[in-house]
Amino acid sequence: MDSFREKAVAAIAADRACGPVKFSEPLEELFGADVFNEKAMREYLAPGAFRKFADCLANRRTIPPELAEEIAEAMKTWALERGATHYSHWFLPLTGSSAEKHDSFVEPDQKGGMTLKFSGKNLIVGEPDASSLPNGGLRSTFEARGYTAWDPCSPAFIRRGENTATLCIPTVFCSCNGEVLDKKTPLLRSIQAVSAQAERLARCFGIEGKAVITLGAEQEYFLVDKRLYFCRPDLVQTGRTLFGAKPPKHQQLGDHYFSTIKPRILNFMAEVDHELWRLGIPAKTRHNETAPAQFELAPTYEESNLACDHNMLIMEILRQVADRHKLVCLFHEKPFASINGSGKHNNWSIRVGNVNLLDQGSDPKRNALFLTTLCAVIEAVSLHGDLLRTATIGAGNDHRLGAAEAPPAIMSIFLGDQLTGILEELETGDKSKRSEARKLRVGVDTLPQLPVDSTDRNRTSPFAFTGTKFEFRAPGASSSCATPNTVLNTIVAESFDRIATILEGATPDNFNAVLSKTLHDIIRKHKRIIFNGDNYTLAWVQEAQRRGLPNLRTTPEALTALLDEKNIALYEKYKVFSRTEVFSRYEVFLREYKRRIHIEGELSLSLARTLIYPAVMEEINRLSTVLVNCGSLNLTVAAGNARKMIDALSPKLAAMLEECDILEGALVSDDPGPILQAMGNMRKEADALELLVDDRLWPLPKYRELLFIY
C-alpha cells in the first residue's frame, strides 16, 4: 500500500476508537458562562448604570460616552477574571466569514511595568484598517481606514483557544465616509425598517408593543476524516470535489437519515453543544441528514440580529471542534456531486409585543391580523422574488439549487391546501374550496387523534409557510444569515408600509370593508406566487414562466436584480442601502463568483494533468505489458481482455485531455460560462476513467471512502 490515499485509509482503520469527552460543569452553570449577558451585566455594573443601558436598548437610543466607560470597565473586569488577555472587535465583512484583530489589555506604565486598560472608546469604536477586505469601490486602496462600531444589541463573548482567551465585541464595519462594508449594518437597518412598519400595522388592529424579528437557522454540514481530506487538493482549495465517480451505494437506501449517530460523531457533537452553550447559543437539535457523512444542527429561535451572529459562531465552532476530532467540517453547498447538498434553512417570524403576527389567532382580530401579515408577505415575495433570489447567490449554491434536494431558483410560496383555500375564499367569496381541518387517525385505539398541521411541509418549495413562521429553504449552507434576512425584512417592510397606510385612512365604521378589499386586491394581483406542487418538475418551470416569475438560474443572472431601479429605490426608501452601496455589493459578489470559478478551473486543470493523467498512463502501460506478455505466451483471452481495457481507457483519456486544452483557453477569459462547461465535460471523462483504472493506482480518495469512512 504505497499511495497517500491507501495510507490514509489504513491510518483511519487503525485509529477509529474515541474515548468519551468529559464535561465537569453543570449545564445550568455552563450556559452563557462566556457571555457578557444580562446576568453578567447585573453582577458587574452598578444598578443605575445597568438601568440606563437597558433603557437605551429598549428605546433604541445611543449609549452616552460616560455610560460606555462604565460598561467597558465592567466588561474588562469580567473578561480578565475569565482569563482573557486580548480584546477584539468582531465583525462580518463581505467575505461571508467573520473577521477580528486582537489587541491586548496590556499597556506599559512608563515605570518598567504594565497596566491593564480598556476604555469606553476601545469598546465603542475601533480602526482595524482591513484595507484588503472587499469593498466594491467604496474606498481607494490608499484610504485604508475602516471603522468598527459596537453593536450593543449582541452581547460580547469570550473565544477560547488552547492557550488563550479573547474578549470579542460584535460590531458593524464601515468606511471613513460612513458607507457600510459589512453584512451586519444592512441587517440592523432592515430590522429597524420592518419593525417600524410592523408596529404601525399592528396598531391598526389595536395591538401595541415593540416589534421583534425572530430567526431559527438550521445548519447543514458534512464531515470527512482529516487524513482523507488532505489527500484531496480540490477539497482543501475549493471545499468541493472537482472529480469523483458516484459510488454504487450512496444515499438511495435512505439509511443515513435520522439513523443512530456513530460514536465518533456523537463525541464531536457533544463537544460542539458544550462549546455553543458556553457562548449562550441555544443549540437544540442534532441529527444525521440525508446524505452519508451529512449532519444538521439547529438552535432554538432568537432575535434575528443575535441569531445571525450566533450562526456565524456555530460554523466557526463546528470547524474548530472537528479539527480536534481529526475531522474536517465542510459547508460547501455541493461538496459531492450526485448526492444531497447542504442548505441553511432560514425560519423567519415577527411579533409585536406578545403577538406573533404569523400565528393564527383564536379571536377575529388576531385572525384578521394574521391574514393581513400573510398577504403582506405574499405581496412582498411576488413583487421582489428577483431580489429574494439575490439572497441565495453563490458559486456553491448554484450547484445545489434545483438539484432534486433543494428548491429551484424560481421563488414561490407554499401555503398548503387549507390556507390557500381560505385565500381563494377571500378573493372570490366562494367557501366551497376551503379545506376543513382534518384529524390524523393513528390506528391505535389508546392514542388520541392528532390534528394535521394545516400547512404540512413541502421540501421542494423555496419559501414555505410552516405554521407561525416562513421557512426560506433556498440559502446555501456557507452563507451568512444576515443576507437573506436583510432582503426579507426590507421587502416585507414595504408591504407592511403600504397596507398600514391604507388601514390608517379607514374609519371604525368602514375598517372591515377596507381591510377586506385590500386583502382581496393583494390576492388577486399576487396569487401567482403561490404554488403547492412539486417545484422540481419541468411543468412547474413552464407554468412559472407563464405566470411571469423570474427563473434566475445562475449567480450572474441573479445579481442583475441588484441593478434594477425598483430594487435600488426600495433599498434607498427604507435606508437599508444607498445606491452606491448597492452597486458596491454587485461588484463584490460578481467578482467573488468569477474568482471562485477561476480557482476551480485552474485546480481542475492541475489535477487532471498531474494526478489523473499519470495514473491513467500508468494503467495503460501496465496493461500494455500484460498484453505483450500474454501475446508471447499465446494467452489469447487474457490478451484480448487487456486490449479491451486499453481501448476503453484511451479515448476517454484523449477526451479528458482535449477538455484540458479547452479549459486552459477558457481561463484567459473573464466569462465563467466556458470554464464551467469545460470543467463539467472533463469531469465526466475523468469520473469514467476512475471506474476503469486499477483501484491501487487511483490517486484521489474516492466517494466510498470520503462519505463512509469517518
Per-residue model confidence as pLDDT tens digits over 206-219: 999 999 999 999 99
Structural domain total, the chain: 2
Contact 356, 367 (CB under 8 A): no
pLDDT on residue 439: 54
- Asked if residue 69 is part of any domain, the answer here is yes
pLDDT on residue 27: 81
Which tens digit of pLDDT belongs to each residue from 336-388?
Answer: 999 999 999 999 999 999 999 998 877 777 788 999 999 999 999 999 999 99
Torsion of CA 167, 169, 175, 178, to 10 degrees: -150
Torsion 286-290-294-296 (CA) sign? negative
Whether the pLDDT of residue 301 is over 70: the answer is: yes
* Higher-pLDDT residue of 645, 35: 35
To the nearest whole percent, how much of the chain has pLDDT over 90? 73
Torsion 686-688-689-693 (CA) sign? positive
How many Cα atoms within 13 Å fall on the side-chain side of residue 512? Answer: 4
Contact 171, 322 (CB under 8 A): no
pLDDT on residue 406: 84
Whether the pLDDT of residue 17 is over 80: the answer is: no
Last residue within a domain, chosen from 150, 177, 204: 177
| Band (112; pLDDT cuts 50, 70, 90) | confident
- Asked if residue 699 is part of any domain, the answer here is yes
Average pLDDT, integer, range 435-439: 56
Contact 174, 128 (CB under 8 A): no
Residue 126 DSSP class: E
- Asked if residue 145 is part of any domain, the answer here is yes
* Higher-pLDDT residue of 367, 563: 563
- Asked if residue 652 is part of any domain, the answer here is yes
Locate all alpha helices (DSSP H) within 325-416, ordered by sequence.
364-383, 385-390, 395-400
Beta bridge partners of 439: 451
Rounded Cα–Cα distance for residues 552 and 388 (Å)? 11
- CA 570-498-518 angle, to 5 degrees, is 140
- Of the candidates 211, 251, 486, 558, the one whose C-alpha atom is nearest the C-alpha of residue 358 is 211
Q: What is the CA radius of gyration of the chain?
A: 28
pLDDT on residue 441: 53
Residue 521 three-state SS? helix
- Asked if residue 618 is part of any domain, the answer here is yes
Q: Which three cell numbers stand for residue 312?
A: 456565524
pLDDT on residue 628: 80
Last residue within a domain, chosen from 177, 199, 233: 177
Rounded Cα–Cα distance for residues 538 and 561 (Å)? 24
Q: Which three cell numbers stand for residue 226?
A: 482529516
**pTM of the full predicted structure?**
0.94
pLDDT on residue 444: 45
- Asked if residue 78 is part of any domain, the answer here is yes
Which tens digit of pLDDT belongs to each residue from 190-247?
Answer: 999 999 999 999 999 999 999 999 999 999 999 999 999 999 999 999 999 999 999 9
Whether the pLDDT of residue 685 is over 80: the answer is: yes
- Asked if residue 348 is part of any domain, the answer here is no
Contact 357, 492 (CB under 8 A): no
Last residue within a domain, chosen from 135, 160, 177: 177
- Of the candidates 138, 237, 146, 114, the one whose C-alpha atom is nearest the C-alpha of residue 598 is 237
Rounded Cα–Cα distance for residues 594 and 455 (Å)? 40
Which tens digit of pLDDT belongs to each residue from 444-487?
Answer: 454 445 455 555 567 789 999 988 999 999 999 999 999 999 99
- Of the candidates 698, 702, 703, 696, the one whose C-alpha atom is nearest the C-alpha of residue 614 is 698
Contact 125, 148 (CB under 8 A): yes
Torsion 669-672-676-679 (CA) sign? positive
Q: Which three cell numbers stand for residue 213?
A: 424579528
Q: CATH code at 136?
A: 3.10.20.70
The domain of 58 spans 31-177
Residue 632 three-state SS? helix
- Asked if residue 340 is part of any domain, the answer here is no
Contact 376, 473 (CB under 8 A): no
**254-263: long-range contacts, CB 8 A cutoff, minimum separation 24:** 254/290, 256/288, 256/289, 256/290, 256/291, 256/292, 256/293, 256/294, 257/288, 257/289, 257/290, 258/287, 258/288, 259/288, 261/286, 261/287, 261/288, 262/710, 263/18
pLDDT on residue 443: 47
Residue 241 three-state SS? coil
Q: CATH code at 608?
A: 1.20.120.1560
